[in-house]
């Protein structure tokens, strides 16, 4: 009942104010050539079918495992659609193309599953390169980003969260993790580049949060450099955000928040069921949506000390933030309110927002094809299992292909 009333109020606000529309596909796909658009059409048509998507995913996993030469085809199709390139310099064309339309790039070194200290150091070094590159082009690369599990063993993070006693070796390893995080954030601070810390699974998130707040206390005293991520599909997140704000108030630093719904829902629910604890995820989509929109409102009301990124492909939430900005009399380009989507998805949101003058950026993943595969598998699953998402992409791509055909005639 309460939720319905909230939805009605939202709907009334939306109808009465903001003028942004995400329907203009000529704006959305202006940076895509006809052939790139046709390729996108093929990819989204395929992943839209659950059985094709799952067959393709398992075939690729098998082919990579036994060493079949599939990297070339992956590179020319899904990789090119969702990623910037195999190395940082390989992403230059994408950075330029996006920035021509006022859309920033967030270079996301997406190599996952590193397990060695050498691998963790290498991820840290690569993240530092993204900061250096961002510092040289702050308008086209407005943020850097990293995942703590790129720098740390998930086992140690889990042990810390369980409050198990660490062995002397593990304690040393954790000291190195903290040092890596600090080295990155210090570099971001000294180069004046905002840095996002991604959120991960609930069973390792507490030490990630603790590290993020430690960094904010150090580097967010003058402006918002370090951003932690809040997954609003978690029942605890709204309160965590409020608590983080109170801590920032009393600690006299700025709170940086990336708001997302959350990417690991199935995994979270399965684990909770298997281990017999209650799921940390909201009971349904509507509750997650309400929490997300409430978090936007909270951040808006406390904007004197908060800067946020609305990391979402949800049209309603992106629209709602523009409505809030208008309601509170903020200019579209207020630098405390950022919108972000993933490269290869929801261009209708990114490009129409950028055209209207809002601060917008895209996560652009990069790295060797094989290492980026877990990221690509997640995109395939997301575009298959999230109701409506893939068909929305497909509808828009089809609409634009049709519009271009008609224009030529
Ligand atoms: C720029 C950017 C950065 C991101 N960074 C992170 C990150 O650091 N960590 C992370 O975990 N994810 C991250 N994500 C992914 C994000 O969490 C979502 O998985 C994804 O964006 C889909 O949510 P949405 O807001 O776009 O919209 P929608 O498509 O409207 O929502 C789908 C989401 O709603 C939630 N949901 C769906 N069904 C239910 C249900 N039955 N009950 C409860 N909740 C449900 C799930 O979170 C699902 O992913 C990021 C996304 C973007 C665009």
Express each pLDDT in 350-387 by its tens digit.
Answer: 999 999 999 999 999 999 999 899 899 888 877 774 55
| Cα 157 to Cα 43, 94, 164, 165, 198, distances in angstroms | 36, 35, 10, 12, 15
pLDDT band at 1 (very low <50, low <70, confident <90, very high): very low
Q: Which atom of ligand 1 is nearest to the CA of 283?
A: 42
Question: Above 60 in pLDDT, residue 12?
Answer: no
* Tokens of residue 192, six digits: 């004046």
- In this structure, the strands spanning 306-311 and 255-260 are parallel
Give me ligand 1 centre to Cα 264, in Å: 8
Long-range contacts of the stretch 261-264 (C-beta < 8 A, 24+): 261/231, 261/232, 261/233, 261/288, 261/289, 261/292, 261/312, 261/314, 262/199, 262/231, 262/232, 262/233, 262/234, 262/288, 263/231, 263/378, 263/382, 264/200, 264/201
Q: Which of 55, 37, 36 is nearest to 384 (CA)?
A: 55
For ligand 1, the distance from its centroid to the CA atom of residue 260, given in whole angstroms, is: 6
Q: What is the pLDDT of residues 114-124, one digit of tens each?
A: 789 999 999 99
pLDDT band of 54, cuts 50, 70, 90: confident
Residue nearest to atom 2 of ligand 1 (CA): 311
Q: Which of 344, 342, 351 is nearest to 30 (CA)?
A: 351
Give pTM, 2 decimals: 0.93
What number is the average pLDDT over the span 330-336? 98
State the distance from the centre of ligand 1 to the C-alpha of 288, rounded, in angstroms. Answer: 9
Per-residue confidence band for 3, with pLDDT thresholds at 50, 70 and 90: very low
Q: Which atom of ligand 1 is nearest to the CA of 260?
A: 17
């Amino acid at each position: 009942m309460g939720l319905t009333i909230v939805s009605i109020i939202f709907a009334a606000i939306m109808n009465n104010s903001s003028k942004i529309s995400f329907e203009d596909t000529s704006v959305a796909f202006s940076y895509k050539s006809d052939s790139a658009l046709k390729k996108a059409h093929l990819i989204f048509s395929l992943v839209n079918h659950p059985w094709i998507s799952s067959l393709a995913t398992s075939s690729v996993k098998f082919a990579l495992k036994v060493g079949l030469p599939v990297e070339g085809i992956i590179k020319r199709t899904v990789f090119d659609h969702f990623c910037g390139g195999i190395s940082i310099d390989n992403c230059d064309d994408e950075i330029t193309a996006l920035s021509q339309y006022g859309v920033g790039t967030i270079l996301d070194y997406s190599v996952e599953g590193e397990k060695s200290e050498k691998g963790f150091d290498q991820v840290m070094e690569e993240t530092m390169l993204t900061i250096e590159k961002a510092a040289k082009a702050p308008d086209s690369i407005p943020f850097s980003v990293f995942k703590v599990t790129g720098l740390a063993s998930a086992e140690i993070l889990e042990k810390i969260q369980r409050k198990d006693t660490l062995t002397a070796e593990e304690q040393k390893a954790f000291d190195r993790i903290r040092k890596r995080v600090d080295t990155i954030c210090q570099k971001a601070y000294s180069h004046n580049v905002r840095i996002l810390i991604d959120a991960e699974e609930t069973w390792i998130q507490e030490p990630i949060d603790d590290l993020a707040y430690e960094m904010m206390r150090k580097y967010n005293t003058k402006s918002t450099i370090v951003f932690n991520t809040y997954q609003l599909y978690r029942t605890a997140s709204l309160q965590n955000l409020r608590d983080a704000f109170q801590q920032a108030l009393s600690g006299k630093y700025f709170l940086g928040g990336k708001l997302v719904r959350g990417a690991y829902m199935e995994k979270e629910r399965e684990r909770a069921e298997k281990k017999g604890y209650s799921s940390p995820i909201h009971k349904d989509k509507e509750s997650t949506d309400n929490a997300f929109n409430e978090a936007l409102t909270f951040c808006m009301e406390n904007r004197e000390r908060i800067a946020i990124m609305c990391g979402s492909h949800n049209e309603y939430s992106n629209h709602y933030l523009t409505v809030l900005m208008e309601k509170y009399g903020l200019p579209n380009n207020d630098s405390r309110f950022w919108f972000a989507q993933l490269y290869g998805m929801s261009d209708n949101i990114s490009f129409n927002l950028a055209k209207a003058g809002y601060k917008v950026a895209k996560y652009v993943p990069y790295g060797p094809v094989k290492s980026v595969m877990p990221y690509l598998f997640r995109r395939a699953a997301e575009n298959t299992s999230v109701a409506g998402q893939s068909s929305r992409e497909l509808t828009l791509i089809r609409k634009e292909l049709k519009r271009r055909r008609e224009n030529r005639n």
